[in-house]
Amino acid sequence: METTQIADSVRQRGWYHGWNIVAVCVLSQVAANGLTYNAYSLFLRDWSAQLHAPISQLQLPIAAMALVAALLSPMVGVLADKFPARRLFGWGLLGIAIFYVAISAVTAPWQLVALYGLLAPLALCLSTAVTANALISRWFVRRLGLALGLSAFGIGMAGVLLPPVIAALLPTAGWRMIWRGGGLVVALLVLPLVVSVIRNRPAGDEGKYYLSGDGKATGHHAHAAAGSQLGWREVAARKNFWLLVAIYLPMMALYGGCAQNLGPYAASHGLSQQTAGVLLSILSFSHVIATLVFGLLSDRFGNRLPFAGLAVVMVIGAAIFTFGTGFPALAVGCTLVGLGGGLFTLLAAAIAVEFGAQAVGRAFGLCMLFIPVTALAPFAIAKTQESTGSYTPALMGLATLVLISGALSLLLRERRGDNQPANTVLSRT
């Protein structure tokens, strides 16, 4: 008995491979989201001039991608629960590399819509949050919120690192060369590293400390068998599922609407493209910080109160972003709205609590089915500006919806497994 306790203590102090899993999930999401989504608004002015299309029309590829990705997410969620993550990430990153190279060859706006609507969605679903959250939930009970928060770094970190670099390279290298280079990096560097590290779950007693709250099988892993039996109908029957959908959609719409219009919005305030790149980096850096902070808050307090607080902060940020003038005000607004990127950490953690580790992929994928509602936000904001000459009506309308979502989050009742108290395990971390 004493020998076993000593061995457990050594394993707790040793490096856990689950953190390597988190690291490659970060890398995969940086590679997949970087050009596809995070730096998208920086290409709009060049595309508008060279492809002869208004900026509102060039927001439609994002909407097309979100629509198809939403339809695919429930099915990818099922795959994430059933098939090896290494295979799913490998195919997804290969698709991203092909997509990047294909974008570099477009000559008309409809080609952008076709590539974003047909090739990007499946590749993104396989190589980002749906697969990553399911995989990480199999490696962690203790520190689950932190692990999910670190994984979500991938979405925000790409926005921190890439926009300033791309804004600096665009005048000399051109957007076509940037997309080709991105494809080569993903295919030759990122893909081999990710598939070499990923394993589907811990082996034997590996990570016993991280897989329980008290050294026994507890928490959402204790309900793995029950979770694996949940179908889409059972997931949709939960009240918390619909509350989570109503909570995250307005937040994501406001965050995405600001991010995808930030380049043109900065230009309307007399700021340069390089300054727009800096603002995008600020917004994404705030996103990165939020993924960590809200992961820790989720472990400590659950998800209901952090969701409510996030809504209030985003509304304040939207007001500053809308009515402020000059770089300092826009930077503060971007910082506060950027915290909205932390919603995916809270969403994933709340789903893991509600449905158990073995059903995270299915439940998270079904939750993503509603993303098209938010994907129209960038188009609506751009179209409103073109019609009225102002971004204010659309931005303030979205802020109002976020305030309502914050109130709804107070109705969320967290539970674990069947009917256990929500934070019986995570609160011990």
Q: Each residue of 236-260: pLDDT tens digit?
A: 888 999 999 999 999 999 998 898 8
Tens-digit pLDDT profile for residues 84-110: 999 999 999 999 999 999 999 999 999
Count Cβ atoms below 10 Å from residue 189 Cβ, excluding itself: 12
Mean pLDDT of the chain: 83
- Topology, domain 10-413: Growth Hormone; Chain: A; (1.20.1250)
The dihedral sign for the CA sequence 277, 282, 288, 290: negative
- For residue 214, give Cα distances in angstroms to 209, 230, 237, 251: 8, 26, 31, 35
Percent of the chain with pLDDT over 90: 39
For 429, the 3-state DSSP assignment is: coil
For 204, the 3-state DSSP assignment is: coil
Note whether 291 and 25 are within 8 A (CB). Answer: no
Of residues 119 and 167, which shows the higher confidence score?
Answer: 119
Token pair of 288 as six digits: 């990165």
> What span, in angstroms and rounded, lies between the C-alpha atoms of 89 and 80?
10
Domain ranges of the chain: 10-413
Q: Is the pLDDT of residue 287 over 80?
A: yes
Of residues 296 and 400, which shows the higher confidence score?
Answer: 400
Tens-digit pLDDT profile for residues 266-286: 888 888 878 888 898 898 888
Q: Is the pLDDT of residue 8 over 70?
A: no
pLDDT number for residue 153: 66
pLDDT number for residue 116: 95
Q: Is the pLDDT of residue 227 over 50?
A: no
Question: Could you please report the per-residue DSSP string of 357-384?
Answer: GGGHHHHHHHHGGGHHHHHHHHHHHHHH
Closest CA to 139 of 74, 208, 189, 197: 208
Q: Is the pLDDT of residue 417 over 50?
A: no
pLDDT tier, 2 (very low <50, low <70, confident <90, very high otherwise): very low
Note whether 250 and 407 are within 8 A (CB). Answer: no
∠ CA(399), CA(404), CA(405), 5° rounding?
A: 95
Q: Whole-model pTM?
A: 0.66
